[in-house]
Amino acid sequence: MSIDPVAAAVAALVAAQLMEAPTYLQRAAGLDVKQDIFDEAGAILRAPRRYRRLVGWLGHGALAIAIVLLYATFFAAVAHNDHLAWWGVFAGALHGLLGGIVVGAWPDLHPEMPHATAAPGVFYRHYGRRDVVSFLLGHLWFGLVAGTLYALLHVDLPAGAAL
């Protein structure tokens, strides 16, 4: 079983940023998207308000690395390190399913961001359809990017392992 932790870390950091980019672009365009994962993560980590998004961004990156290391273990054990883009989408779907449940299971994970905010509910459903779709597609996109980059960066895998 060949796992490349450096490839996993790089793939995770890139995938984590690309996962959240559509949500922040929608917010910047004035669309009604309520989720703000970096602010939420900073609030969960109890960072001072001034540094909340920075701390949340760092925490989100660290969590992404841990998650992609789990993906890498799955890729090696189940996918035999082949077709990782597609296995990544599958892993992203499982990741989104678990994440969607976690978001709804602990409403107190969302304290004062930037003010008292209503609990998002399972899959952010209390925030509206746009948030639900952004959340789910973000996790699929995360898996696709993580699987593809991991395969391309893995020192022992041919580039063809990505597809």
| Per-residue pLDDT tens digits for 55-71 | 999 999 999 999 999 99
Number of separate domains in the chain = 1
Six-digit token pair at 154? 């893995």
pLDDT (tens digit per residue) in 79-125: 999 999 999 999 999 999 999 998 888 766 665 655 666 778 899 99
Q: What is the mean pLDDT of residues 25-53?
A: 90
Position 100 scores a pLDDT of 94
Position 36 scores a pLDDT of 87
Lowest mean pLDDT of 44-53, 100-109, 129-138, 147-156, name the range. 100-109
Asked whether residue 38 is assigned to any structural domain, the reply reads: yes
| Type of residue at 72 | A
Q: What is the mean pLDDT of the chain?
A: 91
Asked whether residue 14 is assigned to any structural domain, the reply reads: yes
Asked whether residue 157 is assigned to any structural domain, the reply reads: no
| Type of residue at 25 | L
- Tell me: pLDDT of 51 over 60: yes
Asked whether residue 114 is assigned to any structural domain, the reply reads: yes
Asked whether residue 123 is assigned to any structural domain, the reply reads: yes
- Tell me: pLDDT of 72 over 70: yes
| Phi, psi (rounded to 5 degrees) for 4 | -110, 100
Asked whether residue 160 is assigned to any structural domain, the reply reads: no
Asked whether residue 162 is assigned to any structural domain, the reply reads: no
Asked whether residue 161 is assigned to any structural domain, the reply reads: no
Q: In sequence order, what are the residues at sequence separation of 6 or more whose Cβ sits closer than 8 angstroms to the Cβ of residue 81?
A: 2, 75, 151, 154, 157, 161
What range does the domain containing 79 cover?
5-152
